Amino acid sequence: MKIKIQEKFNLLVPITRVEFIPANSASVLIGFAWAISEGYVLGFKTIGIFVSLFLVLSAVGTLGAHWNSYSDYEMDAEDATKKDLHKSLSDLGKNGLKVIIRVEMVLAAIIFILFLINSFDWKLIGLWIISVFFAFSYSMPPARFKGRGPLAFISLCLVLSVLPILFVYLSINQSLSAEFMCFLVGHTMVVYSLIIPTEIRDYAVDKRFQVCTMTVWLGLKKVVIFSEILIVLGSGLIISSYIKTEYFLNNPIAIISLLGLVVCNGFVFSKFNQLRKLINSISRSDGQNKKASALAKNNPKWITISSIGSMAAALATAIVKIFP
């Protein structure tokens, strides 16, 4: 029985991992806020820039999510936390997803070519190609960086933070500042800290299938401490990068937004701390392992909360520059 278009769309929602859309939106706003200069004039062109950049990033992100779902089909069947995702993929069929991925590859290329019409730059072409390469190679053979420990860490840092924000920034401003680079390092650390709970949730299945993610490579107890260190140091670098920009500290709205970022990431840190305590007690109680996985399942909410803090600071930066 053929699946209707609306039904196919409904099946694609969990496979596409729409919970990560706020992170894509944050990348556009963050890159834009850091790239524009003081006195930037808003207009219809700004809307066009936002929409085109969001589409370019989302197209690559969607491909990455679908490649990951396609390659992990057998693993997800064994994962109790991914029943809905696996059921959607089973109903759609791997061949059906393969066809959709091919269509998406064409659409992603078309979207990027249309973007280049008004923003042609060899650096942007290079960044886009690298992004697509890592989005594919993270999940798919022969590289499958997902199962190569530190390479998984590097791939995710590049695809989820460095490349998209750098792409947005360079599409507007060709000059990289020390403050921006400091921010980018800090933001990348925070982003990866938010990915670790997802890997903790998948730890048992990944280990069973011998997929050496960064979490499997380090072990549960070390990796959760690693996540706490990353979010603390990353938040510190982010705050430091904003403080170094004089125009930011002279505006009350900007200062309040930084406090909001601290509150949001502080809340997430408290959840990491709770997760660490559960993991440290696993050896004393097997039931704690399930509790830790159940807590880690809330990670999409933590990503959204942290993204709100990042977007608030970025929005404040944009406002301060546009209305000096």
CB-CB contact of 127 with 167 (8 Å): yes
Whole-number percent of the chain with pLDDT over 70: 87
pLDDT band at 10 (very low <50, low <70, confident <90, very high): low
Average pLDDT over residues 1-26: 61
Q: Strand locations in the chain, DSSP E?
A: none
Average pLDDT over residues 200-221: 90
pLDDT on residue 1:
41
Burial state string for 100-126 with b = 16 or more CB within 10 A and e = fewer than 16: bbeebbeebeebbeebeeeeeeeebee
Residue 197: pLDDT above 50?
yes
Residue 47 burial (CB < 10 Å; 0-12/13-18/19+)?
exposed
* Residue 281 forms part of a structural domain: yes
pLDDT on residue 285:
47
Domain total in the chain: 1
pLDDT band at 3 (very low <50, low <70, confident <90, very high): low
Average pLDDT over residues 168-192: 95
Whole-number percent of the chain with pLDDT over 90: 50
Q: Which of 72-81, 194-203, 204-213, 216-225 has the lowest mean pLDDT?
A: 72-81
* Residue 99 forms part of a structural domain: yes
Contacts for 103-112: CB closer than 8 Å, 24+ residues apart: 104/59, 104/62, 104/63, 104/66, 105/63, 107/59, 108/59, 108/60, 108/62, 108/63, 108/132, 111/52, 111/55, 111/56, 111/59, 112/56, 112/59
pTM over 0.85: yes
* Residue 116 forms part of a structural domain: yes
Average pLDDT over residues 35-59: 89
Question: Can you tell me the distance from the alpha carbon of 281 to that of 304, in angstroms, rounded to the nearest whole number?
Answer: 28
**Which residue, among 195, 192, 238, has the nearest Cα to 34 in the 3D structure?**
238
Question: Can you tell me the distance from the alpha carbon of 159 to that of 132, in angstroms, rounded to the nearest whole number?
Answer: 9
Question: Can you tell me the distance from the alpha carbon of 57 to that of 166, in angstroms, rounded to the nearest whole number?
Answer: 11
- Locus of tokens 């500042």: 177
- Domain residues for the domain of 164 are 7-322
* Residue 2 forms part of a structural domain: no
What are the tens digits of pLDDT across the range 245-289? 866 777 788 888 889 999 999 999 999 999 998 888 865 445 456
For the chain, the maximum distance between any two Cα atoms, rounded to a whole number of angstroms, is 63
Average pLDDT over residues 50-54: 92
pLDDT on residue 4:
58
pLDDT on residue 230:
97
* Residue 121 forms part of a structural domain: yes
Residue 256 is part of a domain; what is its CATH number? 1.10.600
Average pLDDT over residues 235-240: 95
Residue 5: pLDDT above 80?
no
* Residue 66 forms part of a structural domain: yes
pLDDT on residue 135:
94
Residue 41: pLDDT above 70?
yes
What are the tens digits of pLDDT across the range 55-113? 999 899 989 988 988 888 778 777 666 666 667 777 777 788 888 889 989 999 999 99
Average pLDDT across the chain, whole number: 86
* Residue 1 forms part of a structural domain: no
CB-CB contact of 203 with 220 (8 Å): yes
* Residue 278 forms part of a structural domain: yes
From residue 252, give the alpha-carbon distance in Å to each of 84, 163, 192, 259. Answer: 45, 31, 30, 11
Residue 192: pLDDT above 90?
yes
